[in-house]
Structure 1
Amino acid sequence: MGTAESSERPLDAAEFAVGFIGLGNMGAPMAQRLLKWPGGLVVCDMRPEVLEPFTSGGATTADTAAEVAERCGVVSVAVLDDAQVRSVVTGPNGILHSAKPGTVIAVHSTIADQTAVALAAECAERGVEFVDAPVSGGAPAAKKGGLAVMVGGTEGAFATVRSPFELWASLIVHAGEVGAGTRMKLARNLLHFIAFTAASEAQRLAEAAELDITELGKVVRHSDSHTGGAGSIMLRNTTAPVEPDDFWFPILTHVRDLGEKDLSLALDLGRRLGVPLPLAEQALDGLGAGLGVGPGDISKEQK
């Protein structure tokens, strides 16, 4: 993984409490599942009204991040942005104010990877481990314990956080050193929001063709639940060109040919309806190269 090896052995579940700071839309369902943690759960949020479901479930509360760190071996942070993460970790009442050596701070917020690296360096000066551990799957997955979590940190820190993370995540990936978890999350969300933009383009085409775009949405959700959507072609371990004798070459060539055919038909429909489809044009131009098998006949004809 390219990560540094921690000299500390992973803590046993019964040896430490878990802290959770930030009980918002994502944090609350994640922390709710940590009520089962055998070492106990300590929660902290600026809004007193959100604490009651946790205290009634057996958790204890803390007024500050520093107080959480006094009592916990692992502290999860799920706040809004880089500034809030820095305040929670390094502020006057932050985690580092009282964290003991060997404590692991896990930040689930999507922040800049440089922020994660800088905070990890500050933590290391105190003998504290830092992992960036952003999540994917949204609140519904959090409630079911089905999140994916991408962890950047040392092998030792990863071993320590794995058990508590298993209570709210069904896929735990050690992405590499600190910052790698965030980089993986950014790549994942790049796909996510480009896909949203493509969905908007598809809706415009369908609406211009006098179709019910709500019904189109039902078809997309249904078919993607079976095919896996874009993730279904993310199976190779490199983006380098695929050699003709490679197992994937005929599969990805087939995907390219189907894609180029359907994209060219959609673009023709868009031209007839007067609907610009810039993402579709870019997709037709780049699909084969992106798949690693080069452009097909239809793409070549368009140039």
Structure 2
Amino acid sequence: MPHRDGMNGDTETPPVQVGFIGLGDMGKPMAERLLAWPGGLVVCDLRPEVVEPFTAAGAKAAATAAEVAAQAEVISVVVVNDDQVRAVVTGPDGILSAARPGTVIAVHSTIADETAIELAAECARHGVDLVDAPISGGAGGAQQGRLAVMVGGSEAAYARLREPFRCFADLVVRAGEVGAGTRMKLARNLLHFVAFTAAGEAQRLAEAAGLDLRKLGRVVRHSDAVTGGAGSIILRDTTAPIPADDFWFPILSHVRNLGEKDLSLALALADRLHVELPLAQQAFTELGPGLGVGAGALAKERP
């Protein structure tokens, strides 16, 4: 992981020391993956019993965020909310009270994008980079090193974070400037929780039809693992309507036609069973426009 630098390529730059603040349900498995990082790890949490296994494994312990900043060049922050992030970064014993110029702070907590922008501006006055770097994949993904990290920040900050982050993530993307990481996380989670709501509708229909819900769940998880689920249709650079001569038009028109057929059959079944499916009804009318190919024949015909 060390890399070569300099004009003649013969100067080796040692890996940065990483700090980690917040060893909760998400932070703990992420930090555990960083124990193998060759630059070393400094951890900080208010609970000594959580810190002890890390020091036993070779990490350094810090009592405050300032102590982390005095040692680490890249600092990950995984706390609960915006107020805690502000306290960790700008409080009396916060990172900025001791951070050296060039330090990079990565906020993994899901906070408001405005908070990230505000804190980044304050950090910049101290020569410190702050990026918003929310994560997706849950504690299980952290334990397996399979998180996705969405970074909002400069190219230079992203370059410094990328290698240590690969200890706990197998996808690290730069979403854009500060705030963009949070916006990408919000868009991703919008899909997540709308899908959960749709799963509730599907279960109501299945239950009314006398089906075993656990078996339905097995089928859904199996097919989503094969097809990639809803993310498999997020393929284009824009949501604008697709011209008829575009490569994607026949592909996504086919998806729309299949979807409208299956949704019309599900809605007909729901009518017979007296089950309300508002999301399914909305999907039926908006699937084609959402795909960029317009409503199909079935959606145009249905009142």
User: Scaled by the length of structure 2, what TM-score is found?
Assistant: 0.95
- The answer to whether the 8 A contact 1:20-1:43 is kept is yes
1:49 corresponds in structure 2 to 49
| Counterparts of residues 55-74 of structure 1 (less than 5 Å) | 55-74=55-74
1:163 corresponds in structure 2 to 163
Structure 2 distance, partners of 1:234, 1:272, is 34
| Counterparts of residues 153-232 of structure 1 (less than 5 Å) | 153-232=153-232
Considering Cα pairs closer than 8 Å and 6+ residues apart, tell me whether 1 or 2 has the greater RCO. 1
Structure 1 distance, partners of 2:52, 2:265, is 56
Q: Secondary structure at the match of 2:217?
A: helix
Deviation at 1:83, TM superposition (A): 1.0
Give the unaligned 5+ runs of structure 2.
Answer: 1-11
Q: Secondary structure at the match of 2:120?
A: helix
2:75 corresponds in structure 1 to 75
Instruction: Report whether the alignment pairs 1:108 with 2:108.
Output: yes
Deviation at 1:14, TM superposition (A): 2.4
Structure 2 distance, partners of 1:213, 1:33, is 36
Q: 2:176 is aligned with what amino acid?
A: G
Q: Secondary structure at the match of 2:182?
A: helix
1:28-72, Cα deviation, whole Å (9 max, x unpaired) = 111001111112100001111111221111001111111100110
Q: Secondary structure at the match of 1:36?
A: coil
Deviation at 1:92, TM superposition (A): 1.1
Deviation at 1:294, TM superposition (A): 0.2
Structure 2 distance, partners of 1:88, 1:117, is 16
1:238 corresponds in structure 2 to 238
| Runs of 4+ with >3 A deviation | none
Structure 2 distance, partners of 1:13, 1:286, is 53
2:22 corresponds in structure 1 to 22
2:277 corresponds in structure 1 to 277
- The answer to whether the 8 A contact 1:13-1:38 is kept is no
Q: 1:301 is aligned with what amino acid?
A: E
Q: 2:27 is aligned with what amino acid?
A: G
2:262 corresponds in structure 1 to 262
Structure 2 distance, partners of 1:230, 1:284, is 15
Q: Secondary structure at the match of 2:14?
A: helix
Structure 2 distance, partners of 1:91, 1:274, is 57
- The answer to whether the 8 A contact 1:13-1:39 is kept is no
Q: 1:191 is aligned with what amino acid?
A: L
1:158-179, Cα deviation, whole Å (9 max, x unpaired) = 1111111111111110111000
Structure 1 distance, partners of 2:208, 2:63, is 55
1:3 corresponds in structure 2 to none
RMSD over aligned CA atoms reads 1.0
Deviation at 1:25, TM superposition (A): 1.0
Q: 2:16 is aligned with what amino acid?
A: F
Deviation at 1:202, TM superposition (A): 0.4
- The answer to whether the 8 A contact 1:13-1:163 is kept is no
1:87 corresponds in structure 2 to 87
1:244-302, Cα deviation, whole Å (9 max, x unpaired) = 11111111000000000111111111111111000000000100000000000110012
Residues 13 and 85 from structure 1, CA distance in 2 versus in 1: closer, same or farther, beyond 3 angstroms?
farther
Q: 1:294 is aligned with what amino acid?
A: G
1:31 corresponds in structure 2 to 31
- The answer to whether the 8 A contact 1:116-1:178 is kept is yes
Structure 2 distance, partners of 1:147, 1:13, is 27
User: Scaled by the length of structure 1, what TM-score is found?
Assistant: 0.95
1:7 corresponds in structure 2 to none
Structure 2 distance, partners of 1:13, 1:232, is 39
Q: 1:264 is aligned with what amino acid?
A: S
Structure 2 distance, partners of 1:48, 1:191, is 38
2:141 corresponds in structure 1 to 141
Q: 1:94 is aligned with what amino acid?
A: G
Structure 2 distance, partners of 1:263, 1:49, is 52
Identity of aligned residues (%): 70
1:108-159, Cα deviation, whole Å (9 max, x unpaired) = 0011000000000000011100010001111111111111100010111111
